[in-house]
Amino acid sequence: MILMKDIYKTYDNGVTALNGINVEIDQGEFVYVVGPSGAGKSTFIKLMYREVKPSKGKLIINNKDLTDLKEKEVPLLRRQIGVIFQDFKLLSRLTVYENIAFALEVINESPRNIRKRVMDVLELVGLKNKARFIPSELSGGEQQRVSIARAIVNHPKLVIADEPTGNLDPDTSWEIMKVFEEINARGTTIVMATHSKEIVNTIKRRVIAIEDGRIVRDQHRGDYGYEI
Amino acid sequence: MKFRTLKRHLREGIKNIFRNGWMTVASVGAVTMTLVLVGSFLALMLNLNHMAEKIEDDVVVKALIDTTADDSQIKVLGDEIEQIAEVDSVVFSSKDEELDNLIEGLGDSWRLFEQENPLNHAYIIKATDPQNTSSIAQKVASLSNVDEVTYGEEVVQNLFKFNNYARNIGIVLILGLVLTAIFLISNTIKLTIMARSKEIGIMKLVGATNGFIRWPFFIEGMLLGILGSIIPIVGILVGYKFFENNIQQINTIGFVELLPYNPFAWQLSAILLATGALIGIWGTVMSVRKFLKV
Ligand SMILES: Nc1ncnc2c1ncn2[C@@H]1O[C@H](COP(=O)(O)OP(=O)(O)OP(=O)(O)O)[C@@H](O)[C@H]1O
Ligand SMILES: [Mg+2]
């Protein structure tokens, strides 16, 4: 499913964010990525949907080698992955409904299916009554949930989330985690960077800890392991 | 592309026109201004051209025949003139006809010459190409039994000069206008797209191809151009009718003749519509190109 071999990433400004990453994640796994701020978690995650290109190393996602991925194939890769961005990345002039529908429009889904799937997923994240709002009319947590809805609406095999509960109150966080557990139970792989000790220590899953661009710990049913 | 995708792009393009609010108004305004100017200039230029051609057609060489020449000599002269390559037609005009023309043009006071007509018989010569008028005049002057050749040298020369000037100035003006417009529009659209460059980046991260992103912009640009051409087209259709009606009334000099409303006004409208749409498409496609490399 996901395979990284000796991955290095040095940004244009000379900062080395990843320093030899080796990891394998199987289909259906639920993985937390933890580590201090600036450790390279977001960079690690951005590799997978090609927002960032590795400087060196071998990277396979969904059985596809990204080393020699053509520019034209990038949209296809991204359609197979649901991404929840640290800063949401919602289209500011579109409504909640239109934002979520966009992910289905790019894959040529029929209008009838789009309507049904969007309404279903809005139900799931509890935003059915705000379908016609635009992002600036929503709270941070609500925007977060829209971004989650967009990521999962086309049933991708892999969902990647960068601090999906970073802006949510504890109650909503747990509800979101329930959604993740649910789609994980259906066989979806989930990779999630997080700073939430409570979540990691309560819902026990595989934990990958990154520090200074290296994996320092990889544990099944692991702990958060850092004191805040 | 599937039909429903095209429908989706159409819908998005139209929605964007409303989402952009004032930017739409600014872009449409820029197209409108340009097309009003281009349309007026085109109408003016094409009509001036038309009139000039009309006058050129009316330019004739008049060979005054020696009063001493007899009928057979006059006939020989007519044949000789007809043999000059650039000559289109030769018509004989007797001195009585000449006087009638004069009286008609200049007034009854010339009637006192009716007793003893001082004029010459004449040949009225038309050139195949008005530009050859002066060379015909020279050749005819060298024939025998020709007293004098007139063709309103200055009128003809000035006319040709004016016509060329007008043509060149018109072309420069229209080119300048269109370039200014394209600059204005692409700047306006660039502003809206700068604001949207972030959105384009997001669309790409969600898996949209460049084509998918570009289409609604393309449609939006075309619609902006078409919207911008509405006022100029209505202006041309109404204004040209108005001019046509009024020029007929003040048309005492004879050569002020407009191109006929149908088809000219309609053709001009079609040109404005197409120009508007092209400017709009060009503006959006050019400015969106840069941001697609995200
Ligand atoms: N686009 C970029 N250009 C240059 N340097 C970058 C870029 N993005 C990240 N970095 C650098 O790479 C390092 C790792 O950043 P990254 O965003 O991966 O950290 P992180 O673990 O996600 O941190 P946080 O928990 O605060 O989100 C940092 O030192 C950061 O300054
Ligand atoms: Mg981060």
Tally of domains within chain B: 2
> Which residue type does B204 have?
K
**Tokens encoding A184:** 């994980």
Q: Which fold has domain A26-38+78-219?
A: Rossmann fold (3.40.50)
Residues B100 and B23 in one domain: no
- Summarised one tens digit per residue, pLDDT across range A4-16 is 999 999 999 999 9
CA-nearest residue of chain A to B207?
Answer: A75
Residues B163 and B38 in one domain: yes
A196 lines ligand 1 (CB under 6 A): no
**Does the ipTM exceed 0.85?**
yes
Residue nearest ligand 1's atom 30 by CA: A38
Q: Among residues B120, B150, B180, which one ends one of the domains?
A: B150
Residues B224 and B253 in one domain: yes
Q: Which residues of A touch B (CB under 8 A)?
A: 49, 51, 72, 74-79, 83, 85, 89-93, 102-103, 105-108, 110-111, 150
A40 lines ligand 1 (CB under 6 A): yes
Of B82, B59, B74, B58, the closest CA to residue B147 belongs to B74
The angle, 0 to 180 degrees and rounded to 10, between the axes of the packed helices A96-105 and A111-125 is: 130
C-alpha distances in Å from residue B216, one per residue of A107, B211, B281: 16, 9, 11
Of chain B residues 196-215, which have a CB less than 8 A from chain A? 198-199, 202-209, 212
Residue A163 has what pLDDT?
A: 92
Q: Which of B206, B215, B220, B294 would best serve as a mutation to test chain A binding (most A beta carbons within 10 A)? A: B206
- Share above pLDDT 90 across residues of chain B, in percent, rounded to a whole number: 9
A78, A91, A110 member nearest B207 (Cβ)? A78
Do A91 and B202 count as a contact with CB atoms less than 8 A apart?
Answer: yes
Residue A117 CA to ligand 2 centre (angstroms): 30
Q: Among residues B150, B175, B210, which one ends one of the domains?
A: B150
Residues B198 and B285 in one domain: yes
Do B212 and A90 count as a contact with CB atoms less than 8 A apart?
Answer: no
Does the pLDDT of residue B154 top 80, yes or no?
A: no
How many Å lie between the alpha carbon of B203 and the closest alpha carbon of chain A? 8
Residue B231 has what pLDDT?
A: 93
The residue-averaged pLDDT of B193-216 equals 87
Residues B145 and B217 in one domain: no
DSSP structural state of residue A40: S
User: Largest Cα–Cα distance of chain A, in whole Å?
Assistant: 49
Q: Return the ∠ at Cα A149 (arms to A148 and A151), rounded to 5°.
A: 65
Residue nearest ligand 1's atom 26 by CA: A37
**Residues for chain B: how many in total?**
294
Residue nearest ligand 1's atom 14 by CA: A40
- State the CATH number of the domain containing residue B128: 3.30.70.3040
Q: How many CB atoms lie within 10 A of CB A189?
A: 22
C-alpha to C-alpha distance for A193 and A208, rounded to whole angstroms: 9
Residues B51 and B111 in one domain: no
- Summarised one tens digit per residue, pLDDT across range B64-114 is 888 888 888 888 888 888 888 888 888 888 888 878 877 776 667 777 777
For B85-144, the DSSP string reads TTEEEEEEE-HHHHHHHHHHHH-GGGGGGGSS--PPPEEEEEESSGGGHHHHHHHHHTST
Query: Which residues of chain B does A75 touch, with a Cβ-Cβ cutoff of 8 Å?
Result: 204, 207-209, 212
Domain span at B94: 60-150
A54-63, B106-115, B258-267 — which is least confidently predicted?
Answer: B106-115
A187 lines ligand 1 (CB under 6 A): no
Query: Which residues of chain A does B8 touch, with a Cβ-Cβ cutoff of 8 Å?
Result: 105
C-alpha to C-alpha distance for B279 and B56, rounded to whole angstroms: 36
Residues B252 and B272 in one domain: yes
C-alpha distances in Å from residue B207, one per residue of A71, A161, B196, B204: 12, 16, 17, 5
Of chain B residues 52-111, which have a CB less than 8 A from chain A? none
Q: How many CB atoms lie within 10 A of CB A194?
A: 23
Does the pLDDT of residue B5 top 80, yes or no?
A: yes
Residues B34 and B167 in one domain: yes
Residue with tokens 């002269």: B77
**Residues for chain A: how many in total?**
228
Residue A60 has what pLDDT?
A: 94
The residue-averaged pLDDT of A22-49 equals 95
CA-nearest residue of chain B to A152?
Answer: B206
Residue A209 has what pLDDT?
A: 96
- Candidates A42, A48, A162: which one to mutate for ligand 1, based on the most atoms within 8 Å of Cβ? A42
Do B206 and A78 count as a contact with CB atoms less than 8 A apart?
Answer: yes
What's the pTM? Answer: 0.76
Q: Which of A47, A97, A99, A102 would best serve as a mutation to test chain B binding (most B beta carbons within 10 A)? A: A102
Does the pLDDT of residue B116 top 80, yes or no?
A: no
Do B207 and A92 count as a contact with CB atoms less than 8 A apart?
Answer: no
- Summarised one tens digit per residue, pLDDT across range A120-130 is 999 988 899 99
Instruction: Count H helices and E strands in chain A, helices first.
Output: 7, 10
Residue nearest ligand 1's atom 17 by CA: A42
Q: Among residues B150, B172, B193, which one ends one of the domains?
A: B150
Residues B241 and B207 in one domain: yes
Of B205, B191, B163, B130, the closest CA to residue A106 belongs to B205
Residues B49 and B172 in one domain: yes
Does the pLDDT of residue B200 top 60, yes or no?
A: yes
